[in-house]
Each structure stands twice: as structure tokens, then as C-alpha cells.
Amino acid sequence: MSEPTPAPGGTPPTFSLDGHDVPFEAGQTVLSAALAAGHYIPHLCYHPEFAPHGSCRVCTVKVDGHPAASCTAAARAGTEVDSRSEEVLEMRRRLVQFLFTEGNHFCPSCEQSGSCMLQAVGYALGVTNAHFSPLFPNRPVDASHPDVLLDFNRCILCELCIRASAEVDGKHVFDLSGRGIDKHLIVNAESGRLADTALAVEDKAMSVCPVGVILRKRRGFRVPIGERRYDAAPISVVALQKRPRPSTAPREG
């Protein structure tokens, strides 16, 4: 069943998000409409340039009482969306804690500290510890490429680098291997080494990682602590500053 489309100049359809009416355009998801309207929903694997596929589930909300990933849930007129109840927030906290537990995340020594979405979302949700016993997976660093370092320890399996390399760069440098707890990021080369791929620092895949897996060499810690992306403002503010706007909305700045 298609959503109602307003006549030119008419009122767009809306859904309710935590008691606020959120207008949306045909084809928008709950998350994209919420961000466009200035309402932050925590997320990690969502990227406005790629079709959403709900990898991390951190953006989970309740739509008419049923859990759903807001990045893939279609916006529908008249629905009630819960994004801030304690039940939903606790669900998100657990998901973030799982991500910290499943990888090797050492924020104090990570050069992405202050610019890492996982860290910033953790702060936003009040996550102060991983809660669960860490798994300490064996994930060797790949420093074979002359310009790029891969630290697989920080990977959260968002698949953004895979999609960017395939869909934008046309190189298919990255992929996932294994299942369940053994699933991990790999390099598509017979040797398994990044040096044996066509990855270049100008590639889209270099800029989409929400954590600190794909790093340019010889640039570490150039931005001082205190001047990084989420140091001056929390992710809820930064995400809305950079949000895509509806086509009918006036641009800021």
C-alpha cells in the first residue's frame, strides 16, 4: 500500500516520533525522515549515500509497538514510533556493549578517539563499560600497503567499506568471511594483503568507516585531542549538523 503523496504546496504526511510529528517524503525511512526533521536516532551503519540494510541494529525503535531498525523501516503516515523509552534505550546499550565486547577496542590509545562513532554513540547512551566479558579475538593488523593501515580489531561489521569499494570505487577490495561470532572483515586478494589490491587513498572506501579500521599512514594524531569531531559537541548535535535535508527545506548557511 503506497503512502499518500500531498499535492504541490500541500501538507506532507507525518508519523509520530516520541510525541513529535515528523513529515516525510515518499521513499524515506523512519531514520532518514527523523534526521531530516532534526530528530537524532543513534545509528552506526547508516550512511545517506548507500541503501540501508540494518547491519548493526543500533538504530532500533518501536514502530506501533514492534521493534524495527529505523534505517530500513519505511516511514508510514500515522504510525507511532518510540525511540526514547527506557526499553528501547536499554536495547541500544546492549547492542553497543556487544560491539565493544566482540572486538578489541582500546579507546585511550586509539587514534580515532574523539572521532569514532562507536565511542560517541556509547557516550550518548551512557555506556560506561562493556558489561560482558571481552572475547579478545585474534585480529592481526595489516600494514602491508604503503599508504594505508588496516586495524581489524576495531571492525564492527557495518559493511560500509565493502559497499563503497564495490558500488563507488568498482574495486571490491573488502568482503566478509565466516559466520556468527567468527564473521570478520577480509581483503579480497589471494595473499590476503592490502598491498596486493588496487585500494587508493582517494577511494570512497577510505572515508566511510565509522570507527578506526581504515587509517592513512603518517597522519596519526595530527588532530589534537580536544579538537576532534565529537570533542566540541556530542554526536547527537554533529549528526544533525551534517544531516541530509528534505528537498523542499531551505538550506542552512
C-alpha span between 136 and 211 (Å, rounded) = 17
Contact 135, 129 (CB under 8 A): no
Q: pLDDT tens digit string along 2-53? A: 445 554 557 899 999 999 999 999 999 999 999 999 999 999 999 999 999 8
Ordered alpha helix ranges (H), 85-232: 86-102, 117-125, 160-163
51 and 124 share one domain: no
CATH for 164 = 3.30.70.20
Domain membership flag for residue 238: no
> Where in the sequence is the domain holding 138, given as residue range(s)?
105-216
What one-letter code names the amino acid at 214? I
**238, exposed or middle or buried, with CB in 10 Å at 0-12, 13-18, 19+?**
middle
183 and 116 share one domain: yes
Domain membership flag for residue 118: yes
124 and 79 share one domain: no
Q: pLDDT tens digit string along 122-180? A: 999 999 888 999 999 999 999 999 999 999 999 999 999 999 999 999 999 999 999 98
Domain count of the fold of the chain: 2
122 and 204 share one domain: yes
73 and 110 share one domain: no
Domain membership flag for residue 109: yes
pTM equals 0.90
Q: pLDDT tens digit string along 204-248? A: 999 999 999 999 999 888 899 899 999 999 999 999 997 765 544
CATH for 53 = 3.10.20.740
